[in-house]
Amino acid sequence: MNEPILITEVADGIATLTLNRAEKRNALSHALVQALQEALAGIAADRKVRVVAIRGAGKDFCAGADLEELERIQQMSREENLADARSHGALFVALRELPKPVVAVVQGRALAGGCGLATACDVVLARSDAELGYPEVHLGFVPAMVMAILRRKVGEGRAFDLVARGQRVSADDAREMGLVAHVYAVPSFEDDVARYLRDLASRPASALALTKGLLYELGDLGFAEGIERGAQVNVEARMSDAFRKGVRAFLDRSRLNGGK
C-alpha cells in the first residue's frame, strides 16, 4: 500500500501537514498541491484546529518542483499551463484566506516552489542549517505568483535581488531580511518549534482570525481606509466572547494583586 503524499495530524489544537515525499525531497507535484488545498479546506471548517503547521518529511522542507512535472509541462498547451499555474496560485490564496495562522517549519532546503510555499505561510520557523531561495531564473523561469507575497514581506529591492539572482540564502540571512521569523539551533529545533506552536495555539482563535484578516487586508487599502477598517475590527474584537473573558480574567488578577 502506497503511503499518502500528505500526512495530516491534529493534536492539541495544532494541525500538522507533512509533505511526505522524502525520496523526492518533498517536490511539489500537482497531486501534492491538490492534497494541500483539500486539507486546508477541511481545516477551515474544523473548530478544533487553531494553528496549522506545514513541514516536510526527511531532510528537506521542499526542494521545488517535481522533475517529472517539469518535463510534463513542456508538452502542455498554453491553456493547460495556465490552468496548472492557477492551481498553484489557488493554494497561495487558500493559505492567505484561511482564518487560522499557518506556520512553515523549515529544515534543510526550501527552494523554488518550496520556498514559495514557505513564503506564502504567515510565519516561517527555520532550523539554523536551512537554506532558502528562488533559483528559477537559472532555468529561464520566474517565481511569478509568489512575488505578490514576497514583495510585501521583504520589500521590492530585496525581492528583486532574491528572484533575479536566484541565490540561496542562509536561515540567518533570511531572518534578517524578513523572510523568516525565528531561527532555532539544530539540537533544540523540534522543542523550540513545539513550544512556539503551543504558544500560538493558546491565543484566542477569534483574535488570531481578526488579526490575520486585517493584516492582509491593509495591503490593499489607503492610510485613512486602513484606519477606518482597523476601527471596525477593533469593535468586532471588543464584542467577542474571548475579549470579555480576557478582560474579566485580567481585572480579577489585578484586584487579587492589589492593582499592581
Where are the alpha helices (H) located in the chain, listed in sequence order?
30-44, 67-73, 78-97, 113-120, 147-154, 156-165, 171-177, 189-201, 205-217, 223-238, 241-256
Going by C-alpha positions, the residue among 181, 241, 233 that lies closest to residue 211 is 233
Number of residues that this document lists for the chain: 260
Q: Tell me the C-alpha distance between 19 and 60, whole Å.
A: 10
What number of other Cβ atoms are within 10 A of residue 141's Cβ?
14
- In this structure, are residues 121 and 95 in contact, taking their beta carbons and an 8 Å threshold? yes
Q: Which residue in 69, 97, 136, 190 is the catalytic one?
A: 136
Estimate to the nearest angstrom the gap between the alpha carbon of 89 and the chain centroid: 14
CB burial class (10 A; 0-12, 13-18, 19+) of residue 37? middle
Question: Cell 495530524 belongs to which residue?
Answer: 9
Q: Is 136 a known active-site residue?
A: yes
| Residues known to be catalytic | 136
